[in-house]
């Protein structure tokens, strides 16, 4: 059987075997999981967090919310549909590496243009396969997400763990600096509204949905001052999702606090958490984050529930969503806050990432926000 590059699978397997090396995932508590290196051969450090989605490995690797993380994929086979040029959540690989049970040596999909191992080698992303990812997920579920390293098999787990504990997790401000950028997106048709995005780690898909709704989108960097966000001729502002602990983002919290009541606001993911803090609310770290495609959310105001996509570890405290704010949505699995609203200030936040519906239309949340701006 030939791949698209014309190399027979049995030849490629031999080539891969020549560069394959024993390696291990070592957690900050000293726990060690054996595996085999693939993709870019080397060492890497990040925060180990498991992802439960059956699909979406390409989106996870390129999603800004995974900056500095080592995603552990619980689905047993990763890479079967290859990698294409259309499904990146951002232009760059954001994850620090990846851990899988089995990395498929073949791929089959009409949109794919390369295999996952080839993509990892090209982007210099360290991978680890043949790992008991179910055991890793159970350990992280019981002990919480923590710093981790993909290291050579002969590395001393105690010494690696000691270095991880001393180094700690990446600073949220540094993560934010790695994913933020400024730019402009124009709709295909005549513009109906202008939306500014405070870019805490915005995705390509979110911007595409906004332009499909007829919005001119002014993407502003995470350090954009309040006056720039308001002086861009905007009808409303979106606070995007992104990586890190929102409690460390004091400049962004102050900026959003100054925006409250001045213009319609929609916080998404990390932006939702920053909005709650700007309203005087509280945010707490979850032992294990929500990272997957099927999180059930209940609309507390009597509307329809939804199955949602989520990529986060921090959550708004239910009893402290912010002054004047009310909880609008809850997670049906664990009761965590999934949405809030401050009606008087025209500010709303959602914890999940809005995606297109089954008819390939922009998310109902984004549709409602943009239509409200046009009214």
The string of DSSP codes covering 158-199 is HHHHHHHHHH-SPPHHHHHHHH---EEE--SS---EEEEEE-
For the chain, residues with pLDDT lower than 70 are 1-20, 375
- Residue 375: per-residue pLDDT: 63
Q: Within the chain, where are the H helices?
A: 9-19, 57-62, 116-123, 133-143, 157-167, 172-179, 204-212, 226-230, 250-259, 270-278, 364-374
- Residue 9: per-residue pLDDT: 52
Residue pair 322/281 in contact (Cβ under 8 Å)? The answer is yes
Q: What is this structure's pTM? A: 0.93
Strand partners, 295: 308
- Residue 303: per-residue pLDDT: 80
- Residue 189: per-residue pLDDT: 85
- 306, two tokens: 């939804």
- Residue 183: per-residue pLDDT: 97
How long, in residues, is the chain?
375
Residue pair 206/356 in contact (Cβ under 8 Å)? The answer is no
- 322, two tokens: 């912010």
- Residue 287: per-residue pLDDT: 85
């Amino acid at each position: 059987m030939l791949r698209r590059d014309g190399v027979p699978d049995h030849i490629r397997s031999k080539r891969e075997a020549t560069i394959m090396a024993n390696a291990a995932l070592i957690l900050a508590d000293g726990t060690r999981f054996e595996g085999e290196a693939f993709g870019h051969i080397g060492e890497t450090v990040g925060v180990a967090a498991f992802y439960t989605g059956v699909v979406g490995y390409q989106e996870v690797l390129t999603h800004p919310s995974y900056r500095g993380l080592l995603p552990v994929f619980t689905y047993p086979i990763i890479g079967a549909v290859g990698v294409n040029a259309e499904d990146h959540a951002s232009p760059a690989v954001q994850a620090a590496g990846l851990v899988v049970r089995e990395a498929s040596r073949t791929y089959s999909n009409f949109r794919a243009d390369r295999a996952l191992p080839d993509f990892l080698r090209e982007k210099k992303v360290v991978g680890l396969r043949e790992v008991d990812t179910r055991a890793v997920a159970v350990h992280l579920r019981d002990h919480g997400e923590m710093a981790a390293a993909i290291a050579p098999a002969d590395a001393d787990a105690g010494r690696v763990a000691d270095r991880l504990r001393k180094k700690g997790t990446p600073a949220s401000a540094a993560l934010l600096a790695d994913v933020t950028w400024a730019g402009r997106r124009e709709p295909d048709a005549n513009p109906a509204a202008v939306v500014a995005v405070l870019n805490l780690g915005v995705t390509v898909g979110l911007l595409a949905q906004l332009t499909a709704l007829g919005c001119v989108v002014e993407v502003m960097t995470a350090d954009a001052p309040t006056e720039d966000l308001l002086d861009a001729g905007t009808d409303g502002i979106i606070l995007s999702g992104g990586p890190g602990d929102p409690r460390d983002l004091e400049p962004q919290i102050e900026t959003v606090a100054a925006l409250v009541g001045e213009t319609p606001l929609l916080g998404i993911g990390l932006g939702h958490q920053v909005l709650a803090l700007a309203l005087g609310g509280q945010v707490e770290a979850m032992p294990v984050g929500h990272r997957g495609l099927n999180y059930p959310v209940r609309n507390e105001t009597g509307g329809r529930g939804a199955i949602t996509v989520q990529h986060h570890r921090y959550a708004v405290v239910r009893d402290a969503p912010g002054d004047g704010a009310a909880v609008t949505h809850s997670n049906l699995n664990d009761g965590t806050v999934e949405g809030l609203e401050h009606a008087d200030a025209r500010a709303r936040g959602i914890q999940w990432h809005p995606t297109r519906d089954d008819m390939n239309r922009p998310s109902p949340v984004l549709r409602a926000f943009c239509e409200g701006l046009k009214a």
